[in-house]
Structure formats: structure tokens, C-alpha cells
Amino acid sequence: MKKNILLIFTTILFLSIFLYFKTTPNNKPQSLTNQNINYYKKENTNRYNLYQNKNKHLKKEDIITYVNIGIDKPPYTNTKKAKFLNTTYILVNKYNYLDKNYIPKNLDTINRNFSLPNKKLVHEAKIAFEQMAQDAKRNNLNIRAISTYRTYSYQKELYDNYVKNSSIEEADKYSARAGYSEHQTGLVVDCDNKINYYENFEKTPEFKWMQQNAHKYGFILRYPKNKEYITGYNYESWHYRYVGSIIATYIQKNNITFEEYYVKFIDN
């Protein structure tokens, strides 16, 4: 009898302890100084606080993400050399630049059936692009590469021309300054469908097909609609970036930009 009472007592004790830990909420304050977000960077603490004061509606997670991306500072300020050169997860944007002499390794010319003459991509991206264009072709769709790898000096020419014909402010919306163009990575392809002007790519069945399939081949729409405040670029329906199918699928499923993916999972 005594033994039974002891057993019941012990069981109740253990059950209460278990239930206490299971139901007691973690009521630690959610301040920006605690580090329960694994991409929190101590050196950015001041910037997090400043950005939070100006953007009180944002969630803590978004504040950390946006500051790590750099968008609390104007474009082309606080810039850094791009990391992870010659990988498929390199980030080049208005805060991360490539050297004048950076030429990606393994550049390879795209099959002329799917490209304007002599357009080059990094080999892995080229193979994936050709496969994608070939599969689209089976559905009577023509995905064609019209602009791919660009040298530093060619980008400089392009940008300087934009500035000459409009203004720095306008040019920055459409074109990258030399060293800041993702095209210099050899992982980017601008597409058309051989008929419509590339700026109308959004209206083509090829675009529709790519919306559903590009990620399977490792490509993402790099500058989506309504994400201009993150990417720093106007929406471009024709500009695709190779990141490999695992990253591309994650980005597609979660409707995020490459910048967000990069600070959360690559440079964290």
C-alpha cells in the first residue's frame, strides 16, 4: 500500500514538472539585443536600433535581414568586395562589388540554337540554361539568351551611356555601375522569345513557362515586382540568375529575394 502511494506521488510529481515546462511560455523580452536569430550580427547592433526606430512596423526578423543586406544605407555606400568568388551563390548588388579584373572561371559559349552569337555563361549555368531552353522548345516555346556575361569595361560603357542620355538617378534604376553588375559573374541571362522586345518578356508564354519551371533548372527571376526596395532594381521580367536548383526552389517557394536568402543562409 505504501509502495503504491509512493508510486502515484512520484508519477504526479513528474507529470507536473513535464507540464510546467511544456506550457510555460518563453517570456523573455524580444529585444533586438538577444541573439535567438542565428544571422544576428553583433557589429550591426547600432544599425538595427536606428533602423527599428525609423521602421517601427517591421518585425525584428525583417530589421535584422534588411540591415544585414545593407538597405538601411543608400545604394553604393558602405560597399564591400563580393565574397564567394567563382561559386553559384556569390552576391553582387549595389553593396557588393567585383574587381575590375574579375573574370569568372569556366566561361562557356551557349549553343547558338538558344542564344544570340557568342554569349557566354559559367559552364554549370550554361548547361542548365540549354537544358531549360531545350525542354521549353518541346512545348514550342523559344527562350533565347540575349545578354549574359559582361566584362567590367563593357558594363562601364553601358552605364556611362545611360547617364549621358538621362541622369545618374535614372541610370541607377535600370543599369548597374561597373563592378556592381551581376552580369559580370557569368551566372546571369537576359532572355527574349525571338519575337517580342525583351522588355515585353512578361507578356509572353515563355515568361509564363519560366515562372513555373525556371527554378527546377536553378534559375530565379532576380528582380521581382514589389521587391525593388530590397534588390535596388526596377522589376525585370527578362533577367534570370543561376543559383542552382536547391536555392532556386527555396526562393521560389518562399517568395523571397536572393538578398534575403544570402543573409539568412550563406553569409550568416
| Nearest-CB residue for Zn ion | 239
Taking the complex as a whole, the smallest distance from the CB of residue 239 to Zn ion amounts, in Å, to 4
Taking the complex as a whole, the smallest distance from the CB of residue 170 to Zn ion amounts, in Å, to 17
Taking the complex as a whole, the smallest distance from the CB of residue 262 to Zn ion amounts, in Å, to 18
Taking the complex as a whole, the smallest distance from the CB of residue 165 to Zn ion amounts, in Å, to 18
Grid cell locating 204: 509572353
For 227-240, the three-class secondary structure string (H helix, E strand, C coil) is CHHHHCCCCEEEEE
Which amino acid would we find at residue 225?
K
Q: Which residues fall within 8 angstroms of residue 108, CB to CB, at 6 or more apart?
A: 120, 121, 122, 123, 126
What CA–CA distance (Å, rounded) separates 125 from 87?
11
Nearer Cβ to Zn ion (99/199) = 199
Nearer Cβ to Zn ion (148/252) = 148
Taking the complex as a whole, the smallest distance from the CB of residue 68 to Zn ion amounts, in Å, to 24
Nearer Cβ to Zn ion (68/237) = 237
What CA–CA distance (Å, rounded) separates 120 from 116?
10
Nearer Cβ to Zn ion (40/152) = 152
Nearer Cβ to Zn ion (215/239) = 239
Residue 109 near residue 118, CB atoms below 8 Å = yes
Residue 215 near residue 263, CB atoms below 8 Å = no
Taking the complex as a whole, the smallest distance from the CB of residue 89 to Zn ion amounts, in Å, to 18
What CA–CA distance (Å, rounded) separates 164 from 127?
37
Looking at residue 84, the DSSP 8-state letter turns out to be S
Nearer Cβ to Zn ion (126/239) = 239
Classify residue 101 as exposed, middle or buried by CB count within 10 Å of its CB (0-12, 13-18, 19+): exposed
Residue 247 near residue 213, CB atoms below 8 Å = no
Site for Zn ion, rule CB under 5 A: 190, 239
Taking the complex as a whole, the smallest distance from the CB of residue 190 to Zn ion amounts, in Å, to 4
Grid cell locating 13: 510529481
Residue 231: which of 55, 60, 75 has the closest Cα? 75
Nearer Cβ to Zn ion (94/239) = 239
What CA–CA distance (Å, rounded) separates 232 from 228?
5
